[in-house]
Amino acid sequence: LHLDVYVERMRREYGAEVEIGIPKVAYRETITTRADFNYTHKKQTGGAGQFGRVAGFLEPLQEGDYLFDNKIVGGAIPTEFIPSCDKGFQSCLSKGGLAGFPIVGIKATINDGQSHSVDSSDLAFQQASIGAFREAYNKASPILLEPVMRVVVETPSEFQGVALGTLNQRRGMISSTSEDGIFSTIEAEVPLAEMFGYSTVLRSATQGKAEFTMEFERYNPVPKSIAEEVMKKHQEELKQKK
């Protein structure tokens, strides 16, 4: 995020013109409610077919990215195909259905299923689990998450007000302010999406006398209006690829 500072230095000190792309925010997706699934993968071809039924539910996971829970009893799904179900679920995590971002904070539980003595296989149960995941994911009230940064601004006290203003304009939540009579230190939590170009804005607002640092704090739900914009942009990108 200090890229614009380095680009400016390269232009000024070396006379180099640098082309840079538009930075992208590492959004994530998650679910907010439990949703059941009961999915059958069935495919009949000339030879042996494919068959696997997987039932269970998805639910939010408070800590961690993903957890698989096997609650199968009585051999409804043969033991050798349980890892296939786990593998199928995990293959869905890299790209969510909302805007194509990685999925985190999800627990997948299987508690029933069905197999066929000839047509069931590792692949069949992977495909059944993929179908089951997608079926339940859309019903589990998925949302977007955005990275929130801990931002610390140090500025001459005379510019404290304008520095606070630059953070407030960026959906910043002020955590604390302190000053020693000469310098003020402002701590805030600000969504990463709002921080692009911030160094230029801060320098301009404080006559180049303020500095800031930031580090990742956590992921927070994206406000609905902004989430809609992100999803709309994702749909437009998909259309362009077709």
Do residues 70 and 129 touch, judged by C-beta distance below 8 A? no
Q: Which of 141, 172, 195 is the last residue of a domain?
A: 141
Identity of the amino acid at 70:
N
| Residues 175 and 226 placed together within one structural domain of the fold | yes
State the total domains in the chain.
2
Tell me, yes or no, whether 88 lies in a domain. yes
Domain with 209 in it: 146-242
How many Å apart are CA 34 and CA 136, to the nearest integer? Answer: 8
The pLDDT profile of the chain, 242 residues, written as one tens digit per residue, is 466 667 777 877 888 877 777 678 999 999 999 999 999 999 877 667 899 999 999 999 998 999 999 999 999 999 999 999 999 999 999 999 899 999 999 999 999 999 998 888 999 999 999 999 999 999 999 999 999 999 999 999 999 999 999 999 999 999 999 988 899 999 999 999 999 889 889 999 999 999 999 999 999 999 999 999 989 988 888 788 76
Do residues 56 and 107 touch, judged by C-beta distance below 8 A? no
| Residues 131 and 116 placed together within one structural domain of the fold | yes
CB atoms within 10 A of CB 214: 18
Q: Which of 114, 141, 168 is the last residue of a domain?
A: 141
List beta partners, residue 211.
154
Q: Output the CA torsion sign for 92, 93, 98, 100.
A: negative
Tell me, yes or no, whether 1 lies in a domain. no
Tell me, yes or no, whether 2 lies in a domain. no
Of 20, 193, 30, 13, the closest CA to residue 97 belongs to 30
Identity of the amino acid at 145:
L
pLDDT score for 2 = 60
pTM (2 d.p.): 0.84
**In CATH, what number is assigned to the domain containing residue 240?**
3.30.70.240
